[in-house]
Amino acid sequence: MIRPSTSVDIVDGDHVLKAGRRLLWRVARTLGNAGARWSWNDQFRNGYWGGLQYRRRTVVSLVEQLAGGGDIVEFGCGEGWLIGAVDPGVYRTYVGVDLSPVAIDVATRRARQAGLVKCRFEVGRFEHWSGGPDPSLIIMDESLYYLKPRRQRRLLRRCLDRLDSSCRMVVTVHSATRHRSTLEACRRAAVVEREVHDLERVILTLRARNEFSLREKAQATVATVRRVHRRRLGARTTVT
């Protein structure tokens, strides 16, 4: 016969082990790139984030509304659960970036099995990301707050500078209280077009404060230079 105290001891022991592991992951994340990579790989190997697939509906429909047939970039895509649930008809291409090779392997395999040919997954730190076309939508689902505040601000600025006036960025945090400073950084860096609260969870839709992105400004400058050039050529032709 099992004494009640024994089962309590077992539960407590398991609890302590899990808490110890979580602490180890947290400490490892502070030890630079290698530590962070080990920490995330270990979490994914242990199935710690497997439950994320069940809390997606609001973000999925938001992505479907905002993608606009363009190019999506997701920073901190994990095992790719989000894009796996999005209707592939709403976007042209998708790139998921994550620092965990374990998560990226799972994401790549799942996308291949599901026939998601427009999706690509890359191992990398999102604060170093520079490739790809200017996206129509950038997603940071439960990932921005892993950066230190200064890096958060820098990344937000870089992302928002690249978004054309019709494009958007979606940032989610699971706790408005714990991630208050991340929400503040978003509110300061961008115009909050929509803010959804689901108990403690917050989903922000952001657009750039500047009316035009760097690309749109560059295009406008090129168009002006061409116009002036054409006018000058025209004037010269008339004189001769």
Ligand X SMILES: C[S@@+](CC[C@H](N)C(=O)[O-])C[C@H]1O[C@@H](n2cnc3c(N)ncnc32)[C@H](O)[C@@H]1O
Give the interface with ligand X as residue ranges (CB under 6 A): 40, 49, 52, 76-78, 81, 97-100, 103, 125-127, 141-143, 146
Buried b (16+ CB within 10 A) or exposed e, 153-166: eebbeebbebbbee
CB of 140 to ligand X, least distance (A): 8
CB of 186 to ligand X, least distance (A): 16
Any residues with CB less than 8 A from the CB of 30 and at least 6 apart, and which?
none
Nearer to ligand X, 12 or 198 (CB): 198
What's the helix, strand, coil split of the chain in %, to 5?
55, 20, 25
CB of 160 to ligand X, least distance (A): 18
CA dihedral 209, 70, 82, 187 (to 10 degrees): 0
- Give the three-state DSSP class for 13: helix
Nearer to ligand X, 97 or 170 (CB): 97
Nearer to ligand X, 103 or 164 (CB): 103
Backbone φ and ψ of 69, nearest 5°: 75, 15
CB of 87 to ligand X, least distance (A): 18
Q: In angstroms, rounded to a whole number, what is the distance separating the alpha carbons of residues 57 and 64? A: 11
Q: For residue 73, what are the β-bridge partners?
A: 95, 138
Nearer to ligand X, 98 or 164 (CB): 98
Nearer to ligand X, 127 or 134 (CB): 127
CB of 232 to ligand X, least distance (A): 49
